[in-house]
Amino acid sequence: MQQPTVSLVMPLYNGRPYVAAAIDSVLAQTFTDWELIVIDDGSTDGGMEVVQAYSDHRIRPMANSSNRGVAYTRGVGIKEARGKFLAWIDSDDVILPQRLSLQLDYLHANPEVGLCGTWIERFGGGDHSQARPPDHAELLRCLLLFTPIVPNATVMLRLPLVRHHRIRYDETLPIAEDYDFVLQCSRHFKLGIVPNVLYRYRVTEGSLMQRYDEAEDQSFETLRVVSGRALAHFGVYADERQLRSHRFLNSGRVFTDFRQYRRAFEWLLVLMRHNDATGYYDRTVFRRAVADRFYFISKKASFAGLRALTFYLRQARLHKLLYPQPLALAKLSARCFIRYDKF
Residue 214: predicted pLDDT: 52
Task: Region of 277 please: left (phi>0), alpha (psi -120 to 50) or beta.
Answer: alpha
pLDDT tens digit string along 55-75?
A: 999 999 999 999 999 999 999
Beta bridge partners of 86: 7, 157
pLDDT tens digit string along 294-326?
A: 999 999 999 999 999 999 999 999 999 998 888
- Pick the closest to residue 298 from 284, 315, 279 (CA basis): 315
Instruction: Please report which confidence band the pLDDT of residue 21 belongs to, taking 50, 70 and 90 as the band edges.
Output: very high
Residue 252: predicted pLDDT: 86
Element (H, E) at 35: strand 34-40
In this predicted structure, the answer to whether residue 283 has a pLDDT above a threshold of 90 is yes
Residue 61: predicted pLDDT: 97
Yes or no: say if 221 and 264 are a contact pair by the CB < 8 Å rule.
no
- Pick the closest to residue 115 from 106, 124, 126 (CA basis): 106
Q: Where are the domains of the chain?
A: 6-207, 235-337
In the predicted model, what is the mean pLDDT of residues 145-171?
97
Task: Name the least confident of 159-173, 197-211, 230-244, 261-275.
Answer: 197-211
Distance from C-alpha of 38 to C-alpha of 89, rounded to nearest angstrom: 10
Residue 216: predicted pLDDT: 62
Percent of the chain with pLDDT over 70: 96
Fold of 6-207: Spore Coat Polysaccharide Biosynthesis Protein SpsA; Chain A (3.90.550)
pTM: 0.92
Helix (H, G, I), strand (E, B) or coil at 9: strand
Q: How far is CA 288 from CA 184, 190, 295, 318, in A?
A: 22, 18, 11, 15
- Pick the closest to residue 155 from 3, 9, 5, 4 (CA basis): 9
pLDDT tens digit string along 177-225?
A: 999 999 999 999 999 999 999 999 999 865 545 444 555 666 778 778 9
> CB count, 10 Å around CB of 313?
15
